[in-house]
Every structure is written in structure tokens, then in C-alpha cells.
Amino acid sequence: MYFHFRAATSEDIPVLSELIAASVRELQIEYTPEERELALATIFTIDTQLILDGTYSVALSEEGIVAGCGGWSKRRTLYGGDCQIQAIAPELLDPSHDAAKIRAIFVHPAYSRQGLGSAILARSEKAAEDAGFTGFEMGSTLAGVPLYTLKGYRKRETITVPIGAEKTITIVRMAKSANPA
């Protein structure tokens, strides 16, 4: 299947929120239903800074349906969105020694297992490289770890993230070089 990509805009936020909710509810089965719902209210939300920075993309199906989204960041924040419990780190990264953050890749369940997640990842990495970054880092959900491992990312640490109601979920900090040896 062919997908068309374009920069996300603030007008996309309602549709992207629906896509993220569907993706999390159906594909993030490593987390309990309660964890998924709490995370949808906190860390699995839109990060409008990515849209404002022009580093977040929308993937459209051949029929023009929003099938996925994702991007990268030149800021310190590793994961999450506008509603997360932990403080957002808006400071700019230095491409000469910091890794770009690969952020918020979600695929609608109707388009999963069709290479879309890989395509979003590749576009995000390419855009970050074009901006001068030579390494990438992400906070992966448990469901994403196998794909990112396949794409050359290596686990750095496991992080416990608060999602509200005194609950947490686990994400995995992963990294890779733009030009792996």
C-alpha cells in the first residue's frame, strides 16, 4: 500500500487524537486496559510543540484517510505530550553531540503490519539527519521494541513513567547511530 506524507497542522489534532486512541487501545496490548486509558489521558497525547516545530508528520492512505503519524524532535523531551505528568523539557538539542528524539509514532490498527511504522521511522530519521543529527533516541512502548530493535535501535534503559491514579507504565529508552558501523 502507498502512503502520502505531509506535515501535521493544528487542524489535524482531533483526527490524530482519535488515531492515537485507536492505536493504543488495539495495539498496545502489553499494557492493561486501565494503563492504556490512563496513558491516553497523560503521555499518549498530542505534543503540539512537535507540530509547531514542523517535525511531526501525518501519513495518509491512498484514499486520503489518516493512517498514521509520527516524527522527531530537536528538543530534550523524550516522550509524552501536552498532558503528561512529568515536566516537558523544551530546551533545544545540539546536533553536534545530542541525539534527535524520535517521537510519537502511532499507526491506526487498520493499517498495522503494512510497513507504515517503518516508513514513518525512516522519514523521521532522514529529517533529523538532514537537520544535522548523527544519532537518534526514543522512549519506546513495549509494543514498539521489536520493530525498533529490528531497525537497529538498542535498549539503553527501562523507564517507569507516571500516568495518573498512582499508576505507571514501562517504556524503553532506545538509541542508534545515524550511520551504524
pLDDT of residue 180: 59
Q: Which domain holds residue 26?
A: 4-134
Q: Is residue 94 part of a domain?
A: yes
Confidence at residue 154, expressed as pLDDT on a 0 to 100 scale: 98
Which pLDDT score is estimated for 117? 97
Beta strands 100-107 and 135-140, pairing class: parallel
Residue 149 within any structural domain of the chain:
no
Q: How far is CA 97 from CA 78, 100, 129, 133, 135, in A?
A: 16, 10, 13, 8, 9
Asked whether residue 23 is domain-assigned, the answer is yes
Residue 32 lies in a domain: yes
pLDDT at position 87? 81
CATH for 110: 3.40.630.30
Question: Could you tell me the three cell numbers for 102?
Answer: 524520535
Residue 13 lies in a domain: yes
**Model pLDDT, residue 144:** 97
Please check whether residue 59 is in contact with residue 4, taking contact to mean a CB–CB distance below 8 angstroms.
Answer: yes
Residue numbers of the chain with a pLDDT score lower than 70: 180-181
| pLDDT score, position 54 | 98
Q: What are the pLDDT digits (tens) for 106-151? A: 999 999 999 999 999 999 999 999 999 999 999 999 999 999 999 9
Q: What is the pLDDT of residue 108?
A: 98
Cell 529490528, residue? 150
Task: Please check whether residue 160 lies inside any domain of the structure.
Answer: no
Domains held by the chain: number: 1
